[in-house]
Amino acid sequence: MSRLFHSSMYVFVVALFLAIIGDTLLTTGLFMDGLIYSNVANNMAHGIGSFWHPSYTLTQFPEFYEHPPLAMGLLSLFYRIFGDGIWVVRFYSMFMTVLTAWLLLKLWKQLGFEMRMGWLPLLMWTLVPAVTLNSHENMLECTMAVFVVEAVLLILRGGTWRMILAGVMLVAAFLTKGFTGLYPLALPLILFLTRPRDNAFTRSRAHAINVAGTNTLLLIASMAVTFGLVCLLPGAWDFITNYFKIQVVGTINEPVVSTRWWIVRKFFEETLILWALVIVGFVLELRRCKSDPMTVPHLPQLPLLLLTLCGVLPIMVSLKQRDFYILTVYPFFAVAVAAGLNDLIAKWCSKVNKLACGIVVACAVALSIFAIVFNASHYGKPGRDVALQEDMKLVVPYLQKDELVSVGQADYDHYRLHGYYWRSAHVSLTNQIGNKHLLLGDETQFKALQLDTLYSPINLPTQQYKLYELVTSNQ
């Protein structure tokens, strides 16, 4: 009975995850950042640019130094193996998400919890909206999470070689999305500050300081050597210096948000459900303590909570903040919350009778069927940017591969427009007027800019974007 119940809970959590993302997983639209990264990766796969000299389109980021190239390089391998379809990037994103979930379960086991209760941290992770929202959108953080969680696992296990490997993982995290993946460096200090005092080794302050200091030095040395070797690769140093100059130094004061506390507020908004569960669980534990004075209420794992903060608070150094910058902290926070609730939930689970187990099984099956049907019903639909994608299907047959298409300035600043047209037809957009075709999202600009003397409209039943042809092209 117990095995069936816990297995059903695993199925329920997976089905819940798929149901939440069911309206986007099998659609053709991509979040803007993920669309850009997928195009850069696809270019790599076809020899347009290279790993250390990536390229986006002929007119926008022909040299793409906005982010380190590791995740895009890995995705390019998937393109080479599986082809160019949109489903390749979805598969890659979900593959990285599944890897993160697997490492989350390994972390749960490393902390001494039973694997049969592993559905609990997975459920906590699923209840964070940012996790499901970004899991299939090709965000660089999805790849970085794999390296970050693996680094934390290695540090927790300890030992010289594991520290060295953890350093390698942190360099890989940096080569995926930069400095936001380096916060596990604080873990040895966190483990020292939160060490148990119930045995001779951890009770000895001198020994604990030695372990924390040695592990930190090993991590730093491993990272330094690994990064140094990477810099020796042909083209690597040029890319890294350009990345620092353009993306790190050049945008650190870019005002994306109005207050540095925005990222902290966003973290609490994303984890509001988990905090509510923590409070409810703590209250129930206090009530249990009143009836049984020998028990002590369990709080979430302090080291993981501190590690989570280390991944959130440093973002405040810059006003350039996005909610997905802290995507990699949620596995640790989910495990911390699940750890705090584990005893209470496990006690309830031990009392599950045959009827309750049957209800759970039925719910898991029903939700699984719903998730499959819901995903299938959205297969091939645009999902997002509906007008743009529908119009593009009508416009692309009139364009040629590698063609330069003129657009208005407002359309030129529309990054998704560049991404979709490059992905679908290898067409680059330029704000220089005079090319064979003109694409405008605002019809009123056609006469306002006196373009009616140069172009004539092509009669297509588009919703938003109108295609025009150069009048002199037929003369």
pLDDT tens profile 198-247: 655 555 778 888 889 999 999 999 999 999 999 999 999 999 999 988 88
Which pLDDT tens digit goes with each residue over 321-356? 889 999 999 999 999 999 989 988 988 888 888 888
455-457 and 466-470 beta bridge pairing: antiparallel
Residue 11: count other Cβ atoms within 10 Å of its Cβ: 17
**Rounded Cα gap, residues 379 and 375, in angstroms:** 7
CA 67 to chain centre: 14
What six digits make up the tokens of 28? 């053709």
**Rounded Cα gap, residues 17 and 368, in angstroms:** 10
The residue type found at 304 is L
Residue 409, pLDDT score: 85
Q: Which residues contact 348 (CB under 8 A, 6 or more apart)?
A: none
pTM, two decimal places: 0.93
Could you tell me how many helices (H) and strands (E) the chain has, helices first? 22, 5
**Rounded Cα gap, residues 74 and 86, in angstroms:** 16
Q: Which residue in this structure is represented by tokens 């006469």?
A: 447
- Per-residue pLDDT, averaged over 307-323, amounts to 91
Phi and psi, residue 406, nearest 5°: -75, 140
**Percent of the residues in the chain that have a pLDDT greater than 70, as a whole number:** 94
**Rounded Cα gap, residues 310 and 189, in angstroms:** 11
Q: Are 151 and 106 in contact (CB under 8 A)?
A: no
Higher model confidence: residue 198 or residue 469?
469
Look at residue 28 and tell me whether its pLDDT is greater than 90. Answer: yes
Residue 243, pLDDT score: 92
Which pLDDT tens digit goes with each residue over 260-277? 899 999 999 999 999 999
Q: Are 304 and 335 in contact (CB under 8 A)?
A: yes
Higher model confidence: residue 347 or residue 391?
391
Residue 444, pLDDT score: 81
Residue 124: count other Cβ atoms within 10 Å of its Cβ: 28
| DSSP SS3 for 406 | strand
